[in-house]
Structure 1
C-alpha cells in the first residue's frame, strides 16, 4: 500500500477526511509564528535562513553549501548554524570541529564540514546558537541550515527551497498534505528556489502559487565526480560512468542506496547517466550499520554523499558516492549580494 507521503503527492481522495485536522494545524502554526516572532531581537550580523515549507528533502543542504562557499569566495566570513539532526554533542551550542563524525554532529553537518572552512555551530535552539555566534569576531554573515519555522530565530533574508519533482503535493498542511505552513507563506520569502523542473500548469493549480511566480528561480543539482567512500579516490563523472557500465555489462550487478528525503531523485540522476542499477531506499538520516549493507560488501555500491559519511568506517573497496553541486543562478547571487551590502551598511552605520 502507498505510504502517507506518496498519497500526499498523488492527491489521494481519502486525505479529504483529514482536512479538519489540517485546519487546526494551520491555526496553531499561525499562532506559534506570531508568538515566537515577537521574541526575536536585534543583532549585528545578517542572517540568511535557507529552509522549506514541505516535509522531506528538497536539496536544501547543497544549496547551503553552495551559498556559503560563494560568500566565502567574495571575502565574507560565513558561519553556518543548524539544528544538527541526529547529533549527540557533549555541549550545546556546539562548535563543529574538522574531525567531527556524523554520530556526534549529524550526517548533514558532517558533510558540510568537509566542504566549508568557516564556523559551523549546532543547537536545536537556533536562537541560542545565534546568540553564541553574535559574540564571535570570526564571522560576518550567518546562514541557517533550515529553521524557516524556528521563529525565535531572527532572520533578514529567507530562501525557500522546493523539490520541483514533487512540488507542494496536494497543497494542504499536515496531516492532510506535506506542508508545514500554507502556500501563502511563500509570499514572505525573498527567494524561492525550485530544484529541477516545475510544470507551469502545476504552478497555477497549487493554492494560488501564481502570486509568487516572480520570486521563483530554478536550479539544478549538477553531478560532479565520483568519490570512493573508503579511500577518497576520485573519478571524473564520465570515467566513473564508463567504469560502472562496463562492470554491469560483464555481469557484475550494481547496487544503489539512498537514505535522503527523496531517494528517487538520486535514483533518477543515476538513470539520467544511463546507469543500470538495482535500488534500495532507506529512511532519511538512516543510521547505517555494517550489517545493513553486508550483502554488497564485495560489490559496486553507489550512494549519496550524505549516506557516505555514515558508511566510511565499514565501506567496501568499490563503494562510491556521487558528489553533487547546487548550481544557483547568478541573478539570485547578485540580488543576494545587493541585499547584504545594504544590511551590512546599515549595521555599520548603527554602530557608528
Structure 2
C-alpha cells in the first residue's frame, strides 16, 4: 500500500515538473514572438533600435511607431488569445464536448451583432465610446449563449452536447444574417469596418482599447483559475459532480458568465477571430494533461502565442498590405477542426 502511494506521489511530481517546464517554454515562446513582432512592420526597426526605443533613446519616429502602433496591437493580440482560449476551455468542460468554442456556439456572433448595431449609430466606428464596447459585447454574447442553452436543454435528459453545437451553429448563422442586413444600410466607411470585423482583424490598435479590455482579462482569468478544481469536478458530469457535493447549476452559471465575458470582450476589440477557443485547449491538453490547475495557464499561453504569431504573420506576409488575423488563424484552425470532427465521429 505504501509502495503504491509512493509511486502515485512520484508520478504526480513528474507531471507537475513536466507542466512547469511546458508552461515555462510557452512563456519564453511568447517573449520571443513579442520581440519578433516588435521588429515586424512596414517601417523597419532592428532589435537594437527596438531596445533603444524601449529605454527612451530612439528617434521620435521610432517612438511613435513602437509605442503608438505596435505595442498596443501586440498586447491586444496576447490578451485576445488568452481570453478566447480560456473561454473555449471552460465551455468544453461545461458541455463535455470537444468541439465547443465561443465561435461555434454563437457567442462571437451575438457579441459582434450588438457591437455592429451600436457602431452603426455613429458616423464613424472610431466615434463609438470605446469603454462601452466590451460591456455591450458581453450582453450580446450572453443573449446568444442563453438562447443556445435553453434550446439545447431537455427537462428529463439534461443538456445534449451534440445538440448544443448544432443549435450554436444555427444561432450563430441567425446573428450573422442580422449583421449582413445591418451592413446593407450603412455608409461605405462603416461597411469597411463591418467587412474587416467579419474577417477577424485586430482593428482596435491604441491604448484606449487595451485599457477597455484589460479589466475583463485581469478579473475573469484569475476567477476562472480560482474555479479550476470546480471545473475538474464538473467535467466528470452532473451526476458525479452532484454526488461529490458540487452545486452544479450555480457553478455552471458562474463559469458560463465568465466564459461569455472573456469571449465577448475579446470580440469587441478584435472582430470575429474563430478557432482559438477550439485549438488552444486541445493543444494545451496534449502538453500538460487534463487537470485544470495546469491546463488553464497552459491554454492561456497557447492562445496568446497563437494569436500573436498569427497577427505577426498577417502584418508580414503581404507588406505593406495586411491580411486579417482571423484568416491566418482559420488557415491553421480549419484543418484541426476537421480532424477533431472525424475523431469525435469515430
TM-score over 0.5 (shorter chain): no
Q: How does the TM-score come out when normalised to structure 1? A: 0.26
RCO (CA 8 Å, sep 6+): is it higher in 1 or 2? Answer: 2
Higher strand share: 1
Q: How does the TM-score come out when normalised to structure 2? A: 0.27
